Amino acid sequence: MRWWIVRCLLFVSLACLPLMQAADSTSSTDVPTYTADGKMLFPTNYRSWVFLTSGVDMSYSPNPMNMGHSVFDNVFVNPDSYKAFLQTGTWPDKTMLVLEVRKAGDKASINKSGHFQTPELMGREVHVRDDTRFEGKWAFFGFDTDEPSKMVPKEAACYSCHQAHAAVDTTFVQFYPTLIGLAKDKGTLSANYLNDEKALASGQKEGKK
């Protein structure tokens, strides 16, 4: 659930815009909530949730997009699911992960180098587990505003990529610094991820020969 994926999701959600109906309601609850026609309400209070990690200019593609500025992505999870993960090493039903993408700044106030986060939001998406609702349990929803949004179609690359490479279930816990060790200890790392790691280690070994 990273920047490369978000770009794909933003593209998909923009393409879906004409299909979206106007809606008034937003959500400030910590459980996934939907409109009658299946759109998800945006969990507007996610900035009070538990922070998992941030990255800068991350890309899963060897040819990252150049936008002329850096971007941060922040990941948050609803508190009850975080508590459950600490106990079990995996996510329970009704987990919501929010990815927030923000424009980075460099020179401002007394900052001379490096990057900080600016108030300029560039996109948000929710990766949600809802067992009885979604085939494969998980779904993505992209949000350009706080208005309810349609589900990203199952054919989008984010689903197959998360399925193929996620460290825990379909989530990229490999990039959540306080949780990856815990998942390892609890034995919840996915077979796909462990195979990826084995292949990476073997490639590095080959490279050193």
- The tokens describing 58, both together, are 């991350």
Instruction: Return the C-alpha torsion angle 31, 161, 90, 192, nearest 10.
Output: 160
CB of 132 to a copy of itself, least distance (A): 29
List the end-to-end C-alpha distance of the chain, in Å, as a whole number.
Answer: 34
Q: Which of 172, 101, 162 is nearest to 137 (CA)?
A: 162
Which residue, 40 or 122, is less far from a copy of itself as judged by CB? Answer: 122
Which residue, 79 or 136, is less far from a copy of itself as judged by CB? Answer: 79
CB of 143 to a copy of itself, least distance (A): 16
CA distances from 159 to 46, 66, 181, 196 (A): 22, 24, 24, 17
CB of 50 to a copy of itself, least distance (A): 6
Residue 155 · residue 146 · CB < 8 Å: no
Which residue, 20 or 156, is less far from a copy of itself as judged by CB? Answer: 156
CB of 186 to a copy of itself, least distance (A): 15
Which residue, 1 or 139, is less far from a copy of itself as judged by CB? Answer: 1
Q: What is the total residue count of the chain? A: 209
CB of 106 to a copy of itself, least distance (A): 9
Which stretches of the chain bind a copy of itself, using CB under 8 A?
2-3, 47-48, 50-51, 53-62, 64, 72, 74, 76, 79, 82, 102, 108-120, 161, 165, 167, 172, 174-175, 177-178, 180-181, 193, 196-197, 200
- The tokens describing 199, both together, are 């292949």
